[in-house]
Each structure stands twice: as structure tokens, then as C-alpha cells.
Amino acid sequence: TLLGMIATDAPIAPTLLPSLLTTAVNKSFNSISIDGDTSTNDTVAVLANGAAGGKEITSESSEDHAVFQETLTSFAIDLAKLVVRDGEGATKFVTIRVTEAPSEVGARKIASTIARSPLVKTALYGKDANWGRILCATGYSQISEPGQPINEVPEIVPEKTSVSFIPADGSAELKLLVNGEPESVDEVRAAEILEHEDLEILVRLGGGKEEAVYWTCDYSHEYITINGDYRT
């Protein structure tokens, strides 16, 4: 279960707080996955008491509103990342970025599907640069839409899709697949990148300008141990 509590002494009108929180949560807590299970209890609340004084934010079009939204969203992202860092049995912190998408919704679905793929997550645990599993998850990510055959998915064009690993140390990206064609992967370099705790998987769809980000972790033996032991 995910629980979150955020408190601020900034003065925010009660009518604006729900949309401020929803926007922040969609970019943060609703963009993480550890094991793909959605709890019965997930709750994130925000309280604003205005104790620090100043002018109350009452308009969605005000500069204060924009600044507070940005502050709250980035704060919620940092909190959400801590949850991923503590994923049961996790040894890796993985950012999944889907870019060049025709729509943000499509990019989010793809990022979410990769983030919950057991085979992607076990490959990450095994330090295996298995772009095939990433591509596989990308390819089926829209099948769950009722009545939509896979060949009608607009976001994914295999010949335009590219997959890279972005190292955590700021060094050059490792291209695994470019425009649907596999690269000759330097396995030594791939192994170096996968030794780091942090990793970014970048999927370029080559079909637009929208993007989405998800944060996830790997699956390890420890996950099974913890949850095989946790009793209801």
C-alpha cells in the first residue's frame, strides 16, 4: 500500500487544492510501479494551513498557482521515488522514459506496461541488457484496450521505435535498437551500465512530441521471500 501525507504552511484556497494534488500525483505517485498490484488503501493527502501568511492563492491562472503547482509536483515526484527505492527486494532504481509519442496517454501506457513487465524486471535484476523484453512489453502495451486490434495501435510503429540505456553516470547512451533495427551491442559496456543501481530506459517512438516517465525497480528473489512470508 502507498500512503502519503503532505503539509504546507502556504495559503491555498480549498477549491484549488484537489486539482493541484491530482496534477502532482499523476506525475508522481501514479507514475510508479513496484510489483504491478494496486492496493485497496492507497491514499495521498495534502493539508494547507496558511500559517506562514501572505496572499491566498485563489486563481488557477495566477503566477503563484503555477509556482506552487510546480513545487508540489516536483516534491511529490521526490517522495514517490523514495518508495521505488524501497521496493521489496529491489536492487535497481529504473526510470522508464517514453518519448517522441503522438500522445501523452499512449506514452504513459507504454511506460506503465514496461514498468510492470516481470520479464523486463527480472532481466534488470540479472543485469541483462535484454532490449527484446522491453520491446515486447512496448508492443503489447495497448492490447488491453477493449476492441482494439494490435495493428491499429497508432503510437507504436516498429520501424520507428528505438531503445537505449541511459547510464546514471552521465556517460553516453547505449543504443540497443535504432528505428527497429538491433544494434551491435557492446556487452561489456552494457554490463558496466547495469552494475549501477540507477538506470534509465529510453524508448523513442519516432512519431510525435509527447513523453511520459515511470519509475520502477527490478524483481529479485527477495521479493518472493518477503511476500511468501507476509500473512493475511
Partner 1 sequence: LDSTIPAAKQKYIPTSGTYPKGFLVSGTHVGVKATNKSTPDLAFLASETPCAAAAVFTKNKFQAAPVTVSRNMLKRRNNTGVRSIIVNSGCANAVTGKGGMEDAEKMGEEADKCFEQPQDGKGGSSIVMSTGVIGQRLPIQKILRKIPTAYDGLGSSHDHWLTAARAICTTDTFPKLLSRTFTLPSSPSITYSLAGMTKGAGMIHPNMA
Q: Which three cell numbers stand for residue 39?
A: 492496493
The residues pairing with 97 across neighbouring beta strands, listed in sequence order, are: 202, 213
The least distance separating partner 1 from the CB of residue 83, rounded to whole angstroms, comes to 4
Nearer to partner 1, 50 or 208 (CB): 50
Q: Name the residue nearer to partner 1 (CB basis): 51 or 105.
A: 51
Nearest to 113 by CA among 76, 58, 153, 85: 153
Residue closer to partner 1, measured from CB, 86 or 173: 86
- Cβ atoms of 45 and 6 within 8 Å: the answer is yes
How does DSSP assign 7-75, residue by residue?
A: EE-S-B-TTTHHHHHHHHHHTTGGGEESSSPPPS--EEEEEE--TT-S--B--TTSHHHHHHHHHHHHH
Q: Least CB distance from residue 1 to partner 1, whole Å?
A: 4
Distance (Å, rounded) from C-alpha 217 to C-alpha 197?
A: 10
CB nearer to partner 1: give 129 or 201: 201
Provide the phi-psi class of 36: left if phi over 0, else alpha when psi is between -120 and 50, else beta: left
Active-site annotation, residues: 1
Q: How far apart are CA 97 and CA 115, in angstroms?
A: 10
The percent of the chain in helix, strand and coil, each rounded to the nearest 5, is: 40, 25, 40
52 versus 172: smaller Cβ distance to partner 1:
52
Element (H, E) at 93: strand 93-101
> Cβ 195 to partner 1, closest distance in Å?
14
